[in-house]
Structure 1
Amino acid sequence: MTDPAIDPETLRERAVTTLVTARDRTTLLTSCVEDPDLTAQHSPLMSPLVWDLAHIGNQEEQWLLRAVAGREAMRPEIDSLYDAFEHPRSERPTLPLLPPAEARRYAADVRGRVLDLLESTAFHGTRLTEAGFAFGMIAQHEQQHDETMLITHQLRKGPQALTAPDPEPAPLFTGPAEVLVPGGPFTMGTSTEPWALDNERPAHRREVAPFHIDTTPVSNGAYQAFIEDGGYENERWWDPAGWAHIRQHAIHAPLFWRRDGKQWLRRRFGVTEVVPPDEPVLHVCWYEADAYARWAGRRLPTEAEWEKAARHDPAGDHSARYPWGDADPAPEHANLGQRHLRPAPVGSYPEGESPLGVRQLIGDVWEWTASDFLPYPGFVAFPYKEYSEVFFGPEHKVLRGGSFAVDAVACRGTFRNWDYPIRRQIFAGFRTARSETV
């Protein structure tokens, strides 16, 4: 959505489309396995899939039917069960959750009422309704939980339950290994993107020194060179906390990898395959990304550097919505939306590159940055502190760009993700940078 003053019917159509797209994906993720897999906890890091399903419906009811429409609660007795802050993931299987059939009926009932509500909603009057923000927020929330459920599917033991076509083969990338991003100010964040979330706001000027950044994400093949050179055995490359973590947990490779003779195999959504050397490395934590960068004589880019590489057009001192411009993502731009169940080869999507020639900044893999998750100058929590504010601080590192598991509605050049630096189950990789030498 490029125009915040877009007409109500177009806003209504966009809201319906994004909500339906999210629900179709939720349905796929919760209908491809039997009920025992929905109610099981496949990892202590993740909720049972059935919890996510009812939580999606409960959040939609609370924000769209209660907060926007002012209606009475449909199932007030379940609010606390699906409060993500009241119950950590590890204890959710012990709660009296709605069984799968009832969770589906509840979510469908809420959605039917929301679609009826959309027919008469005026997209103005309050901050929640302005430009359809609340509907966009809920579509993003559902898609974020869809990504979480896809992570659960990856962690789940058992036969393959999901299928999708592979990305188109790409010729071996022979372009430059890195790109120089000129120094100077640029506009970071946004004050005009209608559905941007609070931590993306407000737009502000940020000064960045000149630096070089990888043209593509780091590949599996490049990361294997780090492993073979003893990268996991040499303390000199590691942040002290990271060194302690990998030693304590005997980590010697990305999550889901195992060595078979002279080759590396990985498990991907129930299938074991040879690790493809030309794909971006996936399922590495921040400490692993940071160690690789040090080994390579480089570093992780800061969040500001990443965003400048992704959005800044030096020809007009303009910060675009995406690397390719202001147009919404199309299939030729990026690997998004669970269209595939793996990253595309490094160097793919030339039509999605930035004006400076950096590729795959959107989609394929979330990219770790060097930065802590902190508020922008002038940040104001909206519509609730628990979305961003409670996570600010050095405990969380920022990830940018989205992955193949992210829908376009929840991914843009300003979108900020964050996680603990030990997290490896997420669809995260990285690219490296270096400062320009004078």
Structure 2
Amino acid sequence: MTTAEDRTVPYDPEVLRARALETLLAARARTTGLTGCVDEDDLTAQHSPLMSPLVWDLAHIGNQEEQWLLRAVGGRDAIRPDIDPLYDAFEHPRAARPSLPLLSPAEARAYVAEVRGRALDVLEASPLRGTGLLDGGFAFGMIAQHEQQHDETMLITHQLRRGPAALTAPEPPPAPGDAALLPPEVLVPGGPFVMGTDTEPWALDNERPAHRRNVPAFFLDTLPVTNAAYARFLEDGGYDDPRWWTEAGWEHVRRHGLYAPRFWSRAGGQWLRDRFGVTEPVPPEEPVLHVCWYEADAYARWAGRRLPTEAEWEKAARHDPATGRSRRYPWGDADPGPQHANLGQRHLRPAPAGAYPEGASPLGVRQLMGDVWEWTASDFLPHPGFRAFPYREYSEVFFGGDYKVLRGGSFAVDGVACRGTFRNWDHPVRRQIFSGFRTARDASPRADGGEVTA
């Protein structure tokens, strides 16, 4: 087994320049769609104290692009240094942002357009070689990912927004897959694997460095937990039984009166959900969505299982037992395509469990990428040898026991911000995010040193 990834990444400047241009333009098209489908009142309103006004996200996207691409990489004069404090995510909590003297929608649109025009000039002139921000075109990849991450944040705001539907799915989800024919779980063999990366040019600091991690054998759900499976937990009184909850989780459930995933309601003997302004029956075959870590953990306990650790999740998603190497994605090293995963806001919902057989891992685990962010059992901690880059506030200030790790990406994530090494994190109470989960269990060792497989 290699001690680092053995994939060669194309660092050809013109290949990276074309990729950077494509990803920046794709991100901006999505931003324009998310902010152009509602009126100015909706853009400036705060639809939830958990989220910023959409117009704040829009100008923040431009401000980050100005700071990193124009000033840091291009050495250009600042366009609007006066607004830096307004759009500093660490200076103003989300609940307070509507009271700030924010740019109006028209001003924000003009600002981000001016920044983008100059940023493309910087991209055209950049050698995309060197160290730090220039290495592998990192700064341009970082900004494309940042914009797509805020696009996902704005999509969450759309989910929380009241009023008529403003978004439409570009295409319907695929037909239900062959979930009933698949084994319920897969054995992931024990042993070491390479976790993290040293070779992805646009990988963020918390994904680095690549390092060996030993993971004992375990069983992992072949598919994410579905709405139908989660409904059985509800029907069995799962939210009323403290046996399944951690102490903090039970206190949270009682205090907030939780009884089902967020956006679910009961009417006429069936479960309904609100999805982007539409009320519809909960589709039983889709992965469950909008559950917090406490809910995921409680379901796993009720089912006699547990949440996988982050290392287990990544091994299941990346490790190829036949070669001993870690892939970029479950299906291999190719960038995500529409045949691999439900990404990029394409369906505005998770695909049915069992979809995307071409995206399966070498062991046959499905839908590890896309559909829903998957909660893991792990706290958000640095990899051994972590170094903050290019600023501490991206990852380092969040390390510790206050945040749980989510992996895999949801239907709201773009491929540029989704890798087998990509790490997301949030508070265990968060439910507005596009979060679901799958469960795991230990594999019992045999006396002869093998693993029990059933």
Structure 2 SS opposite 1:119: helix
Q: Give the corresponding residue for 1:372.
A: 379
TM-score, normalisation: structure 1: 0.99
Does 1:259 find its partner at 2:263?
no
Structure 2 SS opposite 1:96: coil
Q: Give the corresponding residue for 1:422.
A: 429
User: How far has the Cα of 1:5 moved from its partner?
Assistant: 4.1
Does 1:16 find its partner at 2:21?
yes
Partners of 1:409 and 1:18 in 2: how far apart?
Answer: 7
Structure 2 SS opposite 1:110: helix
User: How far has the Cα of 1:127 moved from its partner?
Assistant: 1.1
- Cα 1:278–1:5 change in 2 (3 A) is closer
**2:320 corresponds to which of 309, 313, 319:** 313
8 Å contact from structure 2 (residues 375, 407) kept in 1: yes
User: How far has the Cα of 1:10 moved from its partner?
Assistant: 1.1
User: How far has the Cα of 1:4 moved from its partner?
Assistant: 3.5
Does 1:167 find its partner at 2:164?
no
| Corresponding pairs, count | 437
User: How far has the Cα of 1:72 moved from its partner?
Assistant: 1.4
8 Å contact from structure 1 (residues 259, 265) kept in 2: yes
Q: Deviations over 1:143-164 (max 9, x none)?
A: 0000000000000000000001
Does 1:283 find its partner at 2:290?
yes
Structure 1 SS opposite 2:394: coil
Amino acid at match of 1:406: V
Partners of 1:249 and 1:3 in 2: how far apart?
Answer: 50
Q: Deviations over 1:224-282 (max 9, x none)?
A: 00000000000000011010001000000000000013100000000000000000000
8 Å contact from structure 2 (residues 403, 425) kept in 1: yes
8 Å contact from structure 2 (residues 177, 353) kept in 1: no
Percent identity, aligned pairs only, is 75
Partners of 1:395 and 1:413 in 2: how far apart?
Answer: 23
8 Å contact from structure 1 (residues 29, 149) kept in 2: yes
Amino acid at match of 1:329: P
Structure 1: gaps of 5 or more residues: none
Alignment of 1:240-389 (within 5 A): 240-389=247-396
Amino acid at match of 2:133: L
Alignment of 1:84-99 (within 5 A): 84-99=89-104
Amino acid at match of 1:328: D
Q: Give the corresponding residue for 1:39.
A: 44
Structure 1 SS opposite 2:132: coil
8 Å contact from structure 1 (residues 335, 343) kept in 2: yes
Alignment of 1:51-200 (within 5 A): 51-164=56-169, 165-173=171-179, 174-200=181-207
Partners of 1:302 and 1:338 in 2: how far apart?
Answer: 27
Structure 2 SS opposite 1:129: helix
**1:202 corresponds to which of 209, 220, 224:** 209
Amino acid at match of 2:175: P
Q: Give the corresponding residue for 2:239.
A: 232
Partners of 1:115 and 1:338 in 2: how far apart?
Answer: 25
Q: Deviations over 1:6-37 (max 9, x none)?
A: 32111111000000000000000000000000
Amino acid at match of 1:426: I
Partners of 1:403 and 1:178 in 2: how far apart?
Answer: 21
Q: Give the corresponding residue for 2:406.
A: 399
In the TM superposition, structure 1's runs of 4+ consecutive aligned residues that sit over 3 Å from their partners are 2-5
